[in-house]
Structures are given as C-alpha cells and as structure tokens.
A and B are shown apart, each in its own frame.
Chain A
Amino acid sequence: MPEAGTVTKVFARPRSLTDKHFTYCPGCDHGLLTRIIAGAIDKLGVQERTVIIAPVGCAVFAYEWFRCDGIQAAHGRAVAVATGLKRANPHLIVISYQGDGDLAAIGTAETVHAANRGEAVTVIFVNNQIYGMTGGQMAPTTLAGQRATSCPEGRDVRTMGYPLPVAEMIATLAAPAYVTRQSLHDPRHVAQATKAVEKALRYQVEGVGYSLVEVLATCPTGWKMPPAVAHQHVADVATGTFPLGDLVDRG
C-alpha cells in the first residue's frame, strides 16, 4: 500500500506514442488499437528498432502517431514494403498496419504471398467491414446484407461475393507462425486482443516468423451507429461471420 499523500502511477500513455492527436472519428476503434500496439512495443522494449508502415485509408497518418521510424505505403502494398524493409535490414521490427480495403481487396496478392513466404513481420489487420476514409463504400469484408454507399440495398452475395474470411484463408498456409482474429467490443476482448498483439510482436522479436492479427473494429460513422451500438453490433452480428480466436500458433 502506498503511504498516505503519495501518488502511484498505474496507467500512462505508452512511451511509443507521440503527442499527435488522432484523426479518427469519435468512437472508432483505430485509436484503441494504435494504443495497444504502442503498449506492446513498449513492453517488448523495441521502440528503437521498430518501423511502422501506414496504409492508404483511415490509418494513413499512423506513421506519425508512433515514436518510432515510420513510412507510408501505396494502397495495398504495405506488406510488400514491409518485406523490403525486413529483407534489407533484418534487425528492424516491422509492423504493417492495414485496413480491409487495403489488405483484402487491392492488396490481396501481397497479403497472401508475404504470409506464404513467412515474412518475419507483424501484420495488424483492421476489419471494420467498410471503406471509412472514402466515405463508407462496400469493403471485401462487408457483411451479407449490410448497406454501404456503393451497395445501398445491402450486399447481395449473389453478385457482390461473400465477406472475405482473411484469417481463415491465411491459416491454410504452411508458413505463418501466428494467425488470430480478435475484437475490441468489450474490456475482456480488449485484454485478449492486447495479449494477441503482444504475442505477434514477440514472435517477430524472437524470430518465430510471420503473424497476422485480424481485429474486428467499429466504424460508427460509416455504419451510422452510435459507438456503443456499434460495439454491440460487433458482438452480436460481426462475430457471427467472423468468429474470434487463434487459428494458427506455431510459436
């Protein structure tokens, strides 16, 4: 017990975060996930070796939020950039932060082949089932029947395909060390997602190999839902299409 009159710090901003304000909408899970990643970098003590790769999309500024070296990649190519960085300098800890349009539509080839090579990088995949930055169009992960500006009557799977199960697809490959799907819809799941991000990063530090952490996230603006309702939607609906849990752990 601390003595009366003293203050004990039990919670602080991660050292690996800069003081820049996030550009995310209120209630969006990107900010929380950014903080979780920064905490994992702190915990593993790799801030001075880490390079953050920002995608095109809502996280386009991600490289400015970490007190780490950072780079902005072309749409869909973040993990190819990660490959170049890691191959050129294997000492670096490389984190590729990507949304669903980036990773699972325009960057599908890069995603699959980096995973299949077992590139020793950490891929954080934000699955919020919509294109947020461009105004709420249909994403490869948009749920069946879900409305978006480019599918105003809802996603018709007969003509627009099914929500892409990225974690399950990557889990079929032989090379990945760790493939998991997490969520941020309540404190218990935030704690689990934090552990998953830490494990993925630790596997890179220890040289175990490639990790993909898919994170179900909210887009209250794009979904047109208040933040609390959006989190309930993740729990009740999104997890039905995208079940949570570890799919591969070869650590």
Chain B
Amino acid sequence: MADRQLMTGNEAMAEGAIRAGCRAYFGYPITPQNEILEYMAVHLPKVGGAFLQAESEVAAINMCYGAAAAGVRTMTSSSSPGVSLKMEGISYLAGADLPCVILNVARGGPGLGNIAPAQGDYFQATKGGGHGDYRLIVLAPSTAQEAAELAGLAFDLSDQYRVPALILADGMLGQMMEPVALPAQRDPASLPPKPWALTGAKGREPNYIASFALDPTVLRDLNLRRQARYREIEAREVRWEETATEDAEVLLVAYGTMGRIAKTVVRRGRDEGVKVGLLRPITLWPFPYAPLRALAERVRAVLTVELSAGQMWEDVRLAVEGRCPTPFYGEMGGVVPTPSEILREVKRHA
C-alpha cells in the first residue's frame, strides 16, 4: 500500500493500528465505525493478524483481554452505545494492567441516540465509565492524518504504562476523507518484550493475570502502584496544540472535530481583527490543565465549545479556577455549529 492515501478517519485509524503492530482485532458492527471492522477484516489477515467479528461488544472487549494477556497488540472499535457495553471489560483491563486500544467513533446520545457526530462521551472516556479507580489514556484526533498517528501513539503509550488507551473520535472524523501520509510499518517482533505475558510457563514460573485480590491491603497496594503510574503519565504525556494564543484575548478550547472547526473560527476572527486563539487538547486524559491555566492568566475569557452539554467544560473550569470568565457554547444530538455561529459567540466575550 502506498504511504500516501486518500482515506476516511476510520480507515486511517485502522491502517495506523496495523502499521503500529496491531495483530488482533475484535469488533461488532455499529454505525458510524463499521469501516474499521471492515478494513480490519480485509487487511489484518494479510499481515498474519487475527480478525474476528464477535457476537457482541461485550465478547469483543473480553477477546481483547485474552489477546492482550497473550502479549499481542490488540484493538477493538465501536461507537457510543457499543462502548458503554465494553465498560465492564475496560475496567477489567485496567484492573489487570493490560494494554489495549479502544476506538470510540462517538455518536449522538444518550440511549440509541443517532449516528451523527457528538462529544457526549467525554465523561465516560475520561472520568471512568466502568467501575473502580482507574484511568484510560484518552487521545482526541481532529484530522484523518492525526487519527492515523494517534493510533500508533495509543499502542505505544498503552504498552509502556500498561494502561488501556482510548481514542475518542466522532462520526464526522470517522466518515470524512482526507489525504493521509501513513506512518511507517513496524514489525511486532521489534517491539519491547512483555515478560508478564501468558506465553506458557516454559523455563520460568507461571505468569498470572487478574484484577482480583481479596485482601484489602493487597488490593490497596495494587491500586497505589497503579495511581503512581497515572501520576507519571500526567507528568510526561500531556499533549495539546495552540493556535494564535500569543496575543489572544478570547481563548477557545475545543477538541476533535470541534477543535478543527475552531481553527477556522480563529482564522476568520483574525481576518476580522478579533484577537481569538485556540487551545486544542490532544490528550483528554491527561488533560492539559497547566498550559490552559497559564493562558487563563492573560486572556479575557476562555470559551469552551463542545458537541455536548458541557463535559470537557468541567475540566476547563478546574484548570482556570476563576482566573477569568469561562463561558460555554455547545450543541447536542448530532447538530454541529458553524464557524459563523461560534465566531458570533467569541465576539460577545472579546
């Protein structure tokens, strides 16, 4: 396959995953992410990987749990209602310290909702979703190019920290076609070894993988060690992009598809002489609290724009901590605001 392709965000994530060494994929059909399942069905067997359409999202995430335990880079993908079904399995992955990549091409909700782009799954992705004290590494691409790259990064971070990683995309990013310069192919044999994996107890003591410890002090200590890894991730892995923030008076904060639209708002605003800038979180967890707090010291307002009722907004307000006003502008149900609507909102706070 050529290294430069015209592809959808869904295909870019799938191909990015294969190139990062993903060799086991388990999924279930749900719109708007079916192209990932279909892409994997065609392309994963060509590199000797295991593809299986599972009987449910519940089964798929537990198949990932098995493949991850075997030491293989593994992925599942779904969309909002299907990701809800995976939450128990995600909690088990987190509790067993297993690496895994989960793609959520989010749609309108709650419930069956619709198949239009939405960002109503931010809380679920970044604040838990499943049971217990755990975190996921959450990455939010805003272009097909970035989707391909973050698929690879998700595998690397997940392996390095033994924390499951979730890519939070949406129906617009998943379906939109763009040219993508694909990352290099990596040979799974060249990846760092996983001495904890279940490969058969040959010449070593048995390896056990479980999220289970009846003794409260043992379980507490397992949790403390995991929390220490989370602090390490917060210290090292925060990623974000700034656009025209140097002299900004109104700072937009938006991620994913909204982050991309917000860039257009910044360009049009600047053309009209409005001093507007953008901070686009790339990691939703760990959230870029520190850079946002620094910018909040010198702007008039921080305007959060989301395809939700204001979920990331809570993290923005935690970052700003009253340093300036923190208005919100959002749409729900799959309605996507236009740059003009957002610019009108920016001007109200300029």
Give the B-binding residues of A (Cβ under 8 A).
18, 47-51, 53-54, 60, 63-64, 66-74, 77, 80-89, 91-92, 109-110, 112-113
Contacts and interface: CB of A to CB of B under 8 A. Distances in A.
Nearest to B65: A81
Interface string B1-43: 0000000000000000000000110100000000000000000
Contacts of A86: 66
B113 interface: no
A1 B212 CA distance: 50
Interface of B: 23-24, 26, 50, 52, 54-56, 58-60, 62-72, 74, 88-89, 92, 96, 198-203, 206-212
Nearest to B212: A72
B66 A72 contact: no
A92 B70 contact: yes
Contacts of B67: 84-85, 87-88
A24 to B, nearest CB: 15
A91 B89 CA distance: 25
A84 B58 CA distance: 13
Contacts of B50: 87-88
Contact of A64 (B56, B65, B70, B208): B208
Contacts of A51: 69, 198, 200
A42 to B, nearest CB: 13
A85 B71 CA distance: 9
Closest 4 CB pairs of A and B: A84-B66, A72-B210, A84-B63, A80-B62
Contacts of B92: 73-74
B63 A72 contact: no
Contacts of A88: 23-24, 50, 66-67, 70-72, 74
Given A69-B208, A77-B59, A110-B58, 6 more contacts: A84-B74, A88-B50, A88-B70, A88-B71, A92-B70, A92-B199
B208 A89 contact: no
A209 B327 CA distance: 61
Contacts of A74: 62, 65, 88-89, 92
Given A74-B62, A84-B63, A84-B64, A69 B89 contact: no
B199 A89 contact: yes
Contact of B206 (A67, A77, A83, A112): A67
A49 B64 CA distance: 20
A89 B63 CA distance: 12
A45 B81 CA distance: 45
Contacts of A77: 58-59, 62, 65, 89
A214 B202 CA distance: 30
A67 B205 CA distance: 8
A92 B199 CA distance: 7
A70 B55 contact: no
A47 B201 contact: yes
15 contacts: A48-B200, A67-B201, A69-B200, A69-B201, A69-B206, A70-B209, A73-B65, A77-B58, A82-B66, A83-B52, A83-B59, A83-B66, A87-B24, A88-B70, A110-B55
